[in-house]
Amino acid sequence: MDDKVIKIDLSIFQNRYNVVNVPDNILKKADALKKSCSCFDSFYDPKMIWEKKLYNKKEKHLQHQQHHPQQHTNYVANGAGACATTSNKGRFHIIIPDFSDTSSTKRALIGYLNKLTTRNKEVIYEKIKGMIDTNHTEELFLIIWSYIKITESGNDNLYIKLLDYFDSAFLQVMLDKLWNNYIQQKEWIPPKFIFDNNLLLLNNEYELYCDYVKWKKGIHNINIIWVKYKHQDIPRLLDDIYDYLTGECLGNPNIHKYIIDIFMEQILKILNLYPYPSIVEKIRSLDIKSFDSSTKFLIYTIIENK
């Protein structure tokens, strides 16, 4: 790896960013979009987000109108369009209450999980610990597991500590089951839709990109758990990721370049918690001339910091 790196001070980019003026109406539209697609909170310029979303919706509507003109004619003729903004408060809702002890416990747990913050964590931890002590079930475990996956908190995930409240034997059984499935099914490989769509170009609905962000966040959180509880097995995980990256992705013209970054980022974040010189040396030996700048940055970060 002999490619040269030119380092540019962050302040240069920051100063350029600070002089960009975005109209108020665009900022308001971006705020509205962020409320419906929260994964865009910090990734894109407001104008680009808004205009791209409008364009996609318009294209989708025109395509549907071309293929189903009669539906649109009937829609207007029947005055259906006028109902689009009416309130749904008068709709008939069916509610099926479940007042069993198990259901009440689940609702209480979810309530506490939703309230958990750094400020009140000690109080909430005690309440959840009491629930786990009296309801040692797989169902409660998996609820907590799901919260661990969706929380954007890096190494300080507040929910991971809750796993320690389960009986050690029970916890080991659950983690072994999830770990074996994770390794055998290669759950660290992105889902098919991430391979099939160039998500960074946003050629599809924004919800698809948000699903990608959620998956990536979840996989990093799960890898943090493995480092904590499956410490001795981490070399295998790193080797598996690296072997798939080099065997299936590098040099493959059908692989979007950001897919390579997904695997590199997984390796980097695991190495932040678990030093593994062997994998660093393998990455050091890669010829990075054909990589994008983002991939080069990840590679240099791995080599410099590990």
Do 105 and 188 fall within a single domain? no
Residue type, 262: I
* Closest listed residue to residue 240, CA positions, set 179, 154, 174, 291: 179
Between 94 and 79, where is the model more confident? Answer: 79
* Closest listed residue to residue 63, CA positions, set 199, 71, 50: 71
Do 154 and 173 fall within a single domain? no
Task: Say if CB 266 and CB 223 are below 8 A apart.
Answer: yes
77 has a pLDDT exceeding 80: no
Do 46 and 105 fall within a single domain? no
Q: How confident is the model at residue 62 (pLDDT cuts 50, 70, 90)?
A: low
Residue with tokens 């302040």: 11
Q: What is the mean pLDDT of residues 224-239?
A: 97
Between 199 and 110, where is the model more confident? Answer: 110
Task: Round to whole Å and give the CA distance between 247 and 259.
Answer: 13
Task: Say if CB 52 and CB 60 are below 8 A apart.
Answer: no
Q: Interior CA angle at 231 toward 227 and 233, to 5°?
A: 105
Question: Tens of pLDDT along 172-210?
Answer: 999 999 999 999 999 999 999 999 988 877 655 678 888
Task: Round to whole Å and give the CA distance between 94 and 47.
Answer: 41
Q: Which of 9-23, 55-69, 258-272 tops mean pLDDT?
A: 258-272
Question: Tens of pLDDT along 31-53?
Answer: 776 777 766 664 444 444 444 44
What domain count does the chain have? Answer: 3
CA atoms within 13 Å, Cβ hemisphere of 179: 20
237 has a pLDDT exceeding 50: yes
**Is the pTM above the cut of 0.85?**
no
Do 306 and 183 fall within a single domain? yes
pLDDT at 15: 83
Q: What is the mean pLDDT of residues 264-283?
A: 96
Task: Round to whole Å and give the CA distance between 123 and 108.
Answer: 14
Range of the domain at 177: 167-306
Residue 9 lies in a domain: no
Do 211 and 248 fall within a single domain? yes
Do 130 and 158 fall within a single domain? yes
